[in-house]
Amino acid sequence: MAKQVYMFDEGHKDMKNQLGGKGANLAEMTQIGLPVPYGFTITTDACHSYYQDGKLVNTALKDEIIQALHQLEAATNKKLGDKETPLFVSVRSGSVVSMPGMMDTVLNLGMNDLTVEAQKKLTGNGRFAYDSYRRFIQMFSNVVLGIDLYFFENRLDQLKEAKGYISDPEMTEEDWIELILSYKDLVVKHTNQPFPQDPIEQLMFAIHAVFDSWNNQRAIIYRQLNRIPDSYGTAVNIQSMVFGNTGNDSGTGVAFTRNPSTGENLLYGEFLLNAQGEDVVAGIRTPQPIAQLEQILPDVYQQFVNASLLLEKHYRDMQDIEFTVEQGKLYILQTRNGKRTAASAVRIAVEMAEAGIISKEEALLSVEAEQLNQLLHRRIDNKADMIILTKGLPASPGAATGKVVFNSDEAQAYHDKGEKVILVRPETTPDDIQGIIAAEAVVTSRGGMTSHAAVVARGMGKPCICGVESLKIDTQSKRFVVRETTVNHLDIITIDGDTGSIIVGEVPMIEPKNSSHFHQLLAWADQEKGIDVRANADNKEDSLKALELGAEGIGLCRTEHMFMQADRQKVVKEMILSSSTQERKICLAQLLPIQQGDFEEIFEVMQDLPVTIRLLDPPLHEFLPDKEELLIEVTAMRITEPDSTLLKEKELLLKKVQELSEMNPMLGHRGCRLGLIHPEIYAMQAEAIFLAAITMHQKGIHVKPEIMIPLVGHSNELKIMRKLVIDTAEAVLAKASINMEYTIGTMIEIPRAALTAEQIAAEADFFSFGTNDLTQTTFGYSRDDAEGKFLQTYLEQNILTENPFRVLDKEGVGQLVEIGVNKGRSVKPELKTGICGEHGGEASSIAFCLHAGLDYVSCSPFRVPLARLAAAQATIRRQAIT
């Protein structure tokens, strides 16, 4: 039978799958000589067996646990349950990937009526010993016996009130003893059993509970949200306790080796003197900044600085370290790669590479591409008039405006109605996870920068402000008060996560400006990436943004957006309503200079970078009013103003709308089918493109237009459209006596086009995979219907693991892309290929495109930085394989 329990000096950091992240790191830290309290880890395989055996710890595992316990006892010279030198342990969960606060933990295990006395004798501190015992009863009863914490807190509050105390430190040894009796009584009341005194029984119960917590509600939700497989299971870490609450030379804390918000290379964290375990993370007392430890316990501070430098070098990444100080000695309890904001991730990556701690490639791989989006988010315009209501700790950057809600259910309910909300709570617990997801931002009146709210919000890239002590929240009557100001349920507030400010009402925001670190990292990305990144842009502003964010050209200019602008709608409408080609041509003649102007603006911005312009794609009725609304209007007018000329016009319009109406417009008269039935529209567009290009040539800007025909399914369609464009181009160029290079290509967005790509390629200079439509046509889903009706259920039931409109379906749609590229290149090896569906801005799809041999990806301008980084990462990973 495989080994199911590992002592800390038997494992190492690459055993995450068996030992969980925490267990592997504890083992690694033990191996590199850091002061880690000794212990052992029960593997994730044991968790699988536990579930297979119907939630039972089998005898083999039990024996291994007892054996490991003996080893631990021998190493620490203590014994679980001993009357003189008792050992106390913590029992903690630890999954393969970190799931902070989602599963259960029991501290101080081994406490009972006898060992508490021994602990009192050993430490000479009876108050501490009994406080530890009552904490254990409370935690064990909650986690293992399932009794709500509220009952315990209530008893503590009652006792404090009876004694006239305000805070816990006023409680004496005798008070804790009295409370313990009351707690034991509570346990009997709820379970009909006395509180278990046998430490081995306590241990086995706790291990069961930790295994069970893998499947508690919040852990399941967290896994769904973060796409963590249910099959991982959790390991269990059993570690000898060190106590941070034995006096003022003890304490506990959490610190990052660098600032997780800004990336600054300075220790960043908090500690609480004379406090235990979860006190910092729970955010119940507001802790002190780590820098103050230097004054209070200088030796310990120096030990901590050394340990953090060692850990960062060893793990080659910024670390998030939990520590405890017991009577002046530092212990490291945990380390992991620290969660960080995008700004911080970028700065840390660049500075660690520049300092030679990691390579440029490692720096590029260390930043999650999707995170870069956070850097492109809006911020508060500080020049705007605003009255700051109050300030708290700036726990996660970014700004947000929304309606105030006071609990997670409401956050969810209003979010579902399409409202933007800000969740305001005294503190958050893991049960608030859904509320935090639904909210734009989170505010808490208690807790520090490492409280639950802060950690979770930073991980999600949501603004968060913590520890706003001036905020008096009344969750019952749903309002909060700051001095004289009352903010009620659903009032609008704005929060600034960069400064910690809370502002009443809405505040103007500004676009972000990127740091030198951001530019440096992306410059390295550009050196590495083996695929170009273009942007989808339809106007001057988008083109400017695309260039600013590093696009190497425009991969898709959707010309319908030019038709939709308000000042052209009248002519466009007239063009569509024309009853003859002749009439239509008159309207098109009016549109020609307008389109030409649009193209000139884009060419002017992009200079000699490639610009792919797609001819009109959507069905014509999209430019006309809604049929139902028009019908209602006309029906009403027939009664109210039967003789008006306006009614006549509206009736004519309705007739045309009815004529153009389609059962399924997604598969209807659109794309090149429009160009084939109304060649004059495409001819006008081609003429406008070449006239614009000529103007540019005359200005010395040598554009080489790339003209793209949409929705081709048969090579004959493309053949005719290609001829139309060439004829138009040649006529326009001949008239101007200018020679110009240009290319004509097509979108591959119909399965038949991919399957017959060698025929299509004969008519095309380039292919651009329109994976939005290709996904619709491959799956046979219309996107709007799918996303509005059944896709969510498909995702929840794991019928599909990802939304295929967001993440390219590699098996199906991807296969068509590969077929298309290979067949196309089989007849035209130099065929240029790209992707311009939304997948062009999604990291895993970009990696796919690189592997499929595409020349470029094209995505919306704001996703260009992400795409550059993702392209570099995919290239580096590919090199690592080959």
Residues that bind ligand PEP (CB under 6 A): 556, 558, 617, 749, 770-773, 836-837
Nearer to Mg ion, 47 or 854 (CB): 854
With residue 166 as reference, give the H or E element that holds it: none
Q: CB of 768: closest distance to ligand PEP in angstroms?
A: 8
Residue 836 annotated among the catalytic residues of the structure: yes
Adjacent-strand bridge partners of 269: 255
- 190 noted as active-site residue: no
Alpha helices in 287-425 (DSSP H): 293-296, 298-315, 342-354, 360-366, 372-375, 408-416
Written as six digits, the tokens of 551 are 């696009």
Closest CA to 375 of 259, 494, 498: 498
CB of 671 to ligand PEP, least distance (A): 8
Contacts for 132 with CB less than 8 Å, ≥ 6 apart: 88, 108, 111, 116, 119, 243, 245, 276
Q: Which of 101, 770, 804, 824 binds Mg ion (CB under 5 A)?
A: 770
What tokens does 747 get? 């979108």
Task: Considering the complex, state which of residue 212 and residue 749 has its C-beta at the smaller distance from ligand PEP.
Answer: 749
- Of 731-750, binders to Mg ion (CB under 5 A) are 749
> Do 457 and 465 meet the contact criterion of CB atoms below 8 Å apart?
no
Q: SS3 letters for 350-374?
A: HHHHHCCCCCHHHHHHHCCHHHHHH
- How near is the Cβ of 805 to Mg ion at its closest, in Å? 12
Nearer to Mg ion, 465 or 613 (CB): 613
Smallest gap, in angstroms, from Cβ of residue 528 to ligand PEP?
27
Kindly give the residue spans of alpha helices, DSSP state H, lying in 376-476: 408-416, 433-438, 452-460
**Judged by CB, which is closer to ligand PEP: 610, or 837?**
837
User: Which of 773, 809, 838, 842 is the binder for Mg ion (CB under 5 A)?
Assistant: 773
d(CA 771, CA 777): 9
What is the CB neighbour count within 10 angstroms for residue 310?
A: 16
Q: Which two tokens stand for residue 136?
A: 């254990």
DSSP 615: P
Least distance from ligand PEP to the Cβ atom of residue 770, Å:
3
Q: In what order do the strands lie in the sheet with 5-7?
A: 5-7, 39-42, 234-240, 89-95, 105-109
| Paired tokens of 60 | 């083999």
Nearer to ligand PEP, 392 or 770 (CB): 770
Residue 556 contacts which entry, Mg ion, ligand PEP, none (Cβ below 5-8 A, type-dependent) = ligand PEP
C-beta of residue 534 within 8 angstroms of C-beta of residue 552? yes
**452, 517, 621, 839: which one is catalytic?**
452
Residue number of the CB atom closest to Mg ion: 773
Beta strands in 609-726 (DSSP E): 611-614, 706-709
- The partner in contact with residue 79, picked from Mg ion, ligand PEP, none with C-beta cut-offs of 5 to 8 angstroms by kind, is none
Sign of the torsion formed by the C-alpha atoms of 11, 12, 15 and 18: positive
Question: 878 and 851 in contact (C-beta within 8 Å)?
Answer: yes
Given a contact cutoff of 8 angstroms between Cβ atoms, the answer to whether 730 and 686 are in contact is no
- In sequence order, the β-bridge partners of residue 335 are 321
Q: What is the dihedral of CA 809, 815, 817, 821, to 10 degrees?
A: 160
Using CB under 5 A as the binding criterion, the count of chain residues that bind Mg ion stands at: 3
Work out how close the CB of 774 gets to Mg ion at its nearest, in angstroms, rounded to a whole number: 8
Pairing mode, if any, of strands 234-240 and 39-42? Answer: antiparallel
CA atoms of 709 and 803, how far apart (whole Å): 27
Nearer to Mg ion, 101 or 618 (CB): 618
CB of 640 to Mg ion, least distance (A): 42
In terms of CB distance, is 125 or 860 closer to ligand PEP? 860
User: Which residue, 104, 30, 35, is CA-closest to 242?
Assistant: 35
Six token digits for residue 289: 């900044």
Q: Which is nearer to ligand PEP, 322 or 838 (CB)?
A: 838
- Cβ proximity to ligand PEP, 104 vs 598, nearer residue: 598
Q: Are 38 and 239 in contact (CB under 8 A)?
A: yes
Report the nearest approach of Mg ion to the CB of residue 614 (Å). Answer: 8
State how far the Cα of 303 lies from the Cα of 611, in Å rounded to an integer: 58
Taking CB under 5 A as the binding criterion, the range among 124-132, 323-331, 421-429, 763-771 that sits at the site for Mg ion is 763-771
Nearest partner of 757 among 803, 700, 712, judged by Cα:
712
Query: DSSP for 618-637?
Result: S-GGGGS--HHHHHHHHHHH
The nearest distance, CB 815 to ligand PEP, in angstroms, is: 17
| Residue 171 vs 557, nearer CB to ligand PEP | 557
**Biggest CA-to-CA distance, the chain:** 105
Taking the complex as a whole, the smallest distance from the CB of residue 840 to ligand PEP amounts, in Å, to: 8
For residues 728 and 744, the answer to whether their CB atoms sit within 8 Å is no
Amino acid at 812: G
DSSP state of 147: -
What minimum distance in Å lies between the beta carbon of 808 and ligand PEP?
A: 11
**With CB cut-offs between 5 and 8 Å by kind, which of Mg ion, ligand PEP, none does residue 392 bind?**
none
Q: Are 332 and 308 in contact (CB under 8 A)?
A: no
Is-contact 491 403, C-beta < 8 A?
Answer: yes
- Which of Mg ion, ligand PEP, none is residue 837 near (CB under 5 to 8 Å by kind)? ligand PEP
Pick the closer one to ligand PEP by CB: 691 or 711. 711
Catalytic pick among 466, 557, 836, 859? 836
Question: What dihedral do alpha carbons 317, 323, 328, 329 form, nearest 10°?
Answer: -70
State both tokens at 238.
Answer: 């059993």
Q: Quick check: 666 and 776 in contact, CB under 8 A?
A: yes
CB of 527 to ligand PEP, least distance (A): 29
Give the nearest distance from C-beta 548 to ligand PEP in angstroms: 22
- Which of ligand PEP, Mg ion, none interacts with 771 (beta carbon under 5 to 8 A by kind)? ligand PEP
Where does this chain touch Mg ion (CB under 5 A) — which range of 244-252, 578-586, 773-781, 824-832?
773-781
Q: Which lies closer to ligand PEP via its Cβ, residue 494 or residue 768? A: 768
For Mg ion, give the closer residue by CB, 330 or 674: 674
Residue 78 interacts, among ligand PEP, Mg ion, none and using kind-specific CB cut-offs from 5 to 8 Å, with none
* Alpha-helical runs (H) found in 395-507: 408-416, 433-438, 452-460
Judged by the rule CB under 5 A, the positions of this chain that interact with Mg ion are: 749, 770, 773
Catalytic machinery residues: 452, 836
